[in-house]
């Protein structure tokens, strides 16, 4: 069987939305590849190539029409390029996108890699994530902002919390950056299973306790497992959900002087979030931005 590769080069902020549209109709899954500078620096350009593969059969034209219709609706919110198509032989399609993939350097010490990539000795810590998964692969600005703030605020040897763990990328990073234990929570059981699988792939499964649950389950999990009280919590969700969590006692989930790293916040949503954080006894320690996105590090002050 022959295949068609469909690809779009989009701003990193749009990568997950485009991936979601493609995943509705693509049986082979979706890959998101961060574009890096073509020089020795390999610095991120902010663009992401989103790819999927469609079998050339009687369903090809209806599938393409459905995808293009979904992308058109998305483009009414923000402009998108037209998808690019190329035909592949059956022997080539499974590995076609691998040849384009480059490692993603994050902050000062992390390097996101696919499982097949040869890790060379160097100063960066490899974080292995399968790019074939559409979400949680490190390409989105909100994830990158979380990772860079974790480098600054995570205290080695302590317990961290990844609330809404998704692929587990932030949980794994926390261990690589020195956390002794990470409590990873997500309301989606598939996310929990994915986190555990990726933790095993990175050799850090013993340090990550992944459970299905939400903020209201966190205190019970700390008591159940007997781990030390968390000194850092990271949540890459949405501003509205984060605000509700702040109102529901999110600040008390970490020790006094502990830090909450919150991401998934648009620039115009930040003032409202910080106002609510201040009401809960949290002091703003740092705000970082990438395009329209913001992430903030908040410290729980002692009373």
CATH code at position 252: 3.40.50.150
Radius of gyration over alpha carbons of the chain, in Å?
Answer: 20
Query: Is residue 290 situated within a structural domain?
Result: yes
Average pLDDT of every residue of the chain: 85
Find the mean pLDDT for residues 256-277.
94
Residue 133 is predicted with a pLDDT of 46
Do 91 and 145 lie in one domain? The reply is no
Do 38 and 177 lie in one domain? The reply is no
Given 69, 101, 133, the domain boundary residue is: 101
Domain count, the chain: 2
pLDDT band at 134 (very low <50, low <70, confident <90, very high): very low
Query: Is residue 250 situated within a structural domain?
Result: yes
Query: Is residue 266 situated within a structural domain?
Result: yes
Do 172 and 54 lie in one domain? The reply is no
Do 77 and 165 lie in one domain? The reply is no
Task: Name residues whose C-beta falls within 8 Å of residue 41's C-beta, 6 or more positions apart in sequence.
Answer: none
Do 169 and 73 lie in one domain? The reply is no
Do 60 and 157 lie in one domain? The reply is no
Reply yes or no on whether the pLDDT at 255 is more than 70: yes
Given 71, 101, 131, the domain boundary residue is: 101
Query: Residue 67 belongs to what domain range?
Result: 3-101
pLDDT band at 87 (very low <50, low <70, confident <90, very high): confident
Lowest mean per-residue pLDDT among 57-61, 68-72, 148-152: 57-61
The long-range contacts involving 239-246, CB below 8 angstroms and separated by at least 24 positions, are 239/264, 239/265, 239/266, 239/269, 239/270, 239/272, 239/273, 242/273, 243/272, 243/273, 243/276, 245/163, 245/215, 246/273, 246/276, 246/277, 246/279, 246/280, 246/282
Query: Is residue 236 situated within a structural domain?
Result: yes
The CATH code of the domain that includes 71 is 3.30.70.120
Do 150 and 287 lie in one domain? The reply is yes
Do 161 and 266 lie in one domain? The reply is yes
C-alpha span between 286 and 262 (Å, rounded)? 11
Do 64 and 205 lie in one domain? The reply is no
Residue 131 is predicted with a pLDDT of 57
Do 92 and 151 lie in one domain? The reply is no
Task: Name residues whose C-beta falls within 8 Å of residue 38's C-beta, 6 or more positions apart in sequence.
Answer: none
Do 172 and 270 lie in one domain? The reply is yes
C-alpha span between 192 and 205 (Å, rounded)? 12
Reply yes or no on whether the pLDDT at 286 is more than 70: yes
Residue 121 is predicted with a pLDDT of 53
Query: Is residue 110 situated within a structural domain?
Result: no
Query: Is residue 223 situated within a structural domain?
Result: yes
Given 101, 122, 151, the domain boundary residue is: 101
Find the mean pLDDT for residues 263-282.
93
Task: For residue range 25-65, list pLDDT tens digits in order.
Answer: 876 667 777 777 766 656 677 788 888 888 888 888 989 99
Query: Is residue 136 situated within a structural domain?
Result: no
In this structure, what token pair is assigned to residue 133? 């998964």
Lowest mean per-residue pLDDT among 63-72, 108-117, 172-181: 108-117
- pLDDT > 70: percent of the chain: 87
Query: Is residue 237 situated within a structural domain?
Result: yes
Do 174 and 287 lie in one domain? The reply is yes
């Amino acid at each position: 069987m022959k295949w068609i590769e469909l690809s779009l080069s989009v701003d990193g902020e749009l990568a997950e939305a485009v991936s979601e549209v493609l995943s509705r109709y693509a049986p082979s899954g979706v890959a998101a590849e961060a574009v890096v500078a073509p020089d020795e620096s390999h610095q991120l350009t902010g663009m992401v190539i989103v790819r999927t593969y469609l079998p050339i059969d009687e369903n090809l034209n209806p599938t393409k029409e459905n995808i293009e219709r979904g992308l058109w609706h998305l483009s009414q919110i923000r402009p998108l390029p037209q998808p690019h198509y190329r035909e592949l032989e059956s022997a080539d399609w499974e590995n076609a996108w691998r040849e384009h993939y480059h490692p993603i350097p994050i902050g000062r010490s992390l390097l996101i890699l696919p499982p097949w990539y040869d890790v060379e000795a160097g100063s960066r810590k490899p974080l292995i994530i399968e790019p074939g998964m559409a979400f949680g692969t490190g390409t989105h600005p909100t994830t990158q902002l979380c990772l860079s703030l974790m480098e600054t605020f995570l205290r080695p040897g302590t317990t961290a919390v990844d609330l809404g763990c998704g692929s587990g990328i932030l949980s794994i990073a926390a261990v690589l950056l020195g956390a002794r234990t990470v409590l990873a929570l997500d309301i989606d059981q598939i996310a929990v299973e994915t986190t555990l699988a990726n933790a095993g792939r990175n050799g850090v499964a013993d340090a990550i306790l992944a459970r299905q649950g939400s903020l209201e389950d966190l205190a019970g999990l700390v008591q159940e497992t007997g781990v030390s009280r968390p000194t850092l919590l990271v949540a890459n969700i949405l501003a509205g959900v984060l605000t509700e969590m702040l109102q529901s006692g999110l600040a008390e989930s970490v020790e006094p002087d502990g830090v909450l790293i919150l991401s998934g916040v648009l620039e115009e949503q930040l003032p409202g979030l910080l106002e609510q954080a201040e009401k809960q006894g949290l002091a703003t320690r740092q705000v970082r931005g990438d395009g329209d996105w913001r992430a903030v590090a908040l410290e729980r002050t002692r009373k």
